[in-house]
Amino acid sequence: MSAAPLLRLEDVACRRGGRLLFEGLDLSLGPGEAALVTGPNGVGKSSLIRLAAGLLRPAAGRVERNASLALADEAPALDPKLTVGRALAFWARLDGADPAPGLDAFGLAPLAGVPVRMLSTGQRKRAVLARVVAGGAPLWLLDEPVSGLDAEGQARLAAAMAAHLAGGGAILAATHQPIGLDAAREVRLG
């Protein structure tokens, strides 16, 4: 591959609480590429996502990122008292982006005036994913992106991911269920 990969993990090991979760992991994601991290509960899928995001340091090996990234995990990071629109606008301003495409991509426009604390689990998940779409970062790191999403939400996510890959982005997703990424490589842990 000629272009530099957006994300490269070389011989990475992860240790949490004194326990070795995995080691010797190599992974490289170029533009338009996606990888699915699979494996049983507790095997280190979320830790791998956090390693890739730079939130954890690897016990061994190297993590290299050549692009800005967007992270969607279990933590909503949306101020509960703000409306959905304003909560997403806060992050969009930090990203130098417009929140509207994200709202549209996940059908949240009618909910833009509703306070975040009133949202259901699935709606909150949509808002988290809307932030990823709106942010415009080339590298998406998704931790269990479909948990809590209904069929329509999953279809919207699949469409958003397909558009992102077609536009030269890359996706690393940790999941234990199909998320509609057919072209993805599988990274199996455990």
Partner 1 sequence: MSGLVLRELRLAWTGGSALLPPLFFLLVATLFPFAVGPDAPLLSRTGAGALWMAALLAALLPVDRLVEPDRTAGVLDQLAVRGIAEEQVALAKLAGHWLSFGPPLMLAALPAAALLKLPPDTLLRLELGLVAGTPGLAALTLIVAALTAGLRTTGALAGLLLLPLAVPILIFGAGLAAEGAPTGAARLLAAASLLLVAIAPFAAGAAIRAGRH
Tell me the backbone φ, ψ of residue 76, rounded to 5 degrees: -70, -35
Options 28-36, 72-80, 161-169, 178-186: segment touching partner 1 (CB under 8 A): 72-80
34 binds partner 1 (CB under 8 A): no
Looking at beta carbons only, is 62 or 183 nearer to partner 1?
62
DSSP type of residue 57: -
> What amino acid is encoded at 115 in this protein?
P
Options 27-35, 51-59, 156-164, 170-178: segment touching partner 1 (CB under 8 A): 51-59
Instruction: Answer positive or negative: Cα dihedral of 114, 120, 123, 128.
Output: positive
Cβ-contact 88, 103 below 8 angstroms: yes
From 6, 36, 70, 146, residue interacting with partner 1 (rule: CB under 8 A): 70
- List residues bridging with 143 in a β-sheet: 174
From 4, 42, 64, 68, residue interacting with partner 1 (rule: CB under 8 A): 68
Cβ-contact 29, 172 below 8 angstroms: yes
Q: Tell the smallest beta-carbon distance from residue 75 to partner 1 (Å).
A: 2
How many other CB atoms are there within 10 angstroms of residue 121's CB atom? 11
From 2, 19, 75, 177, residue interacting with partner 1 (rule: CB under 8 A): 75
Options 21-29, 88-96, 97-105, 172-180: segment touching partner 1 (CB under 8 A): 88-96
Instruction: Count the alpha carbons within 13 Å of 82 in the hemisphere toward its beta carbon.
Output: 14
Looking at beta carbons only, is 6 or 53 nearer to partner 1?
53
Q: Tell the smallest beta-carbon distance from residue 105 to partner 1 (Å).
A: 19
Tokens of 141: 């790191």
Instruction: Give the binding site for partner 1 (CB under 8 A).
Output: 50, 53-57, 68-71, 73-79, 81, 90-91, 93-95, 141
